[in-house]
Chains A and B, each alone.
Chain A
């Protein structure tokens, strides 16, 4: 259902140019059904699952993107900019376990980590342990707080 709704609206947004006709909506709906059938063929949640369509989750997600995520992105780029110019680095790969169950949550946290201060996700093993390349290590066995701040808490709240 998630894929269906998203692809329906993306098609309508991309094809909208001043006015909207009923044929357009029909084609959008048919294409969205086709796409969501193909997409849900191999995934676990299945076609009728309503997960991911909770408006409260979406509201929380928007608050996350425009709050801590935007702040982290800006800080990360300022940090990398300084390191590019001065050239002082202290790199290494560390691991930590954010205890995330779902793939969506893992993907969100991995992308957030990649775009935020001094860290880059290298690998995730089957138990959900993250291996993170850090450009400036502060300790050899860092806590969750050191690696990604409050992002892991946000990912747990958003996608378990």
Chain B
């Protein structure tokens, strides 16, 4: 019974991780790839974390050994670290890519480029 739910959560996790990897090959430029990679790999790993939480909680309830509770607490902290660090890293990468001069290749509108142009004209 426990293995069924754990397996379902792991399947969802692997599905989204696969999509994250696939998006790196299917999308045309840096920014759209960043969308797919960040969102899908974070969401996929969070579901793996949910599976671990369910597993350790169920084992703790069944056997009462404190090491499963320790596993639970550590996995919760790992999840929080992941949830903070992953989107921040993605934001840093996007900003660095933009400042390194890589423009969004198919783009309908680019407000940042317009703002930068206005700033350059004001300085000149």
Contacts and interface: CB of A to CB of B under 8 A. Distances in A.
Direct contact of A and B (CB under 8 A): yes
Contacts of B5: none
B115 to A, nearest CB: 7
Interface residues of A, number: 40
A120 B35 contact: yes
Given A121-B94, A131-B111, A91 B32 contact: yes
B84 interface: yes
A17 B73 CA distance: 10
A77 B107 contact: no
Given A77-B39, A120-B35, A120-B38, A84 B115 contact: no
A135 interface: yes
Nearest to A15: B70
B77 interface: yes
A32 interface: no
Interface string B22-64: 1100111101101110111011000000000000000000000
A84 B74 CA distance: 33
Interface stretch (A35-43, A49-57, A106-114, A149-157): A106-114
Given A122-B98, A140-B109, A13 B73 contact: yes
Contacts of A135: 32, 35
B112 to A, nearest CB: 4
18 contacts: A77-B39, A81-B19, A91-B31, A91-B106, A93-B107, A93-B111, A110-B87, A110-B88, A110-B91, A111-B87, A115-B38, A115-B39, A120-B31, A120-B91, A121-B91, A123-B94, A123-B95, A123-B98
A87 interface: yes
A125 B98 CA distance: 13
A89 B27 contact: yes
A137 interface: yes
Given A95-B115, A125-B115, A80 B70 contact: no
Contacts of A137: 108-109
Contacts of A93: 104, 107, 109-113
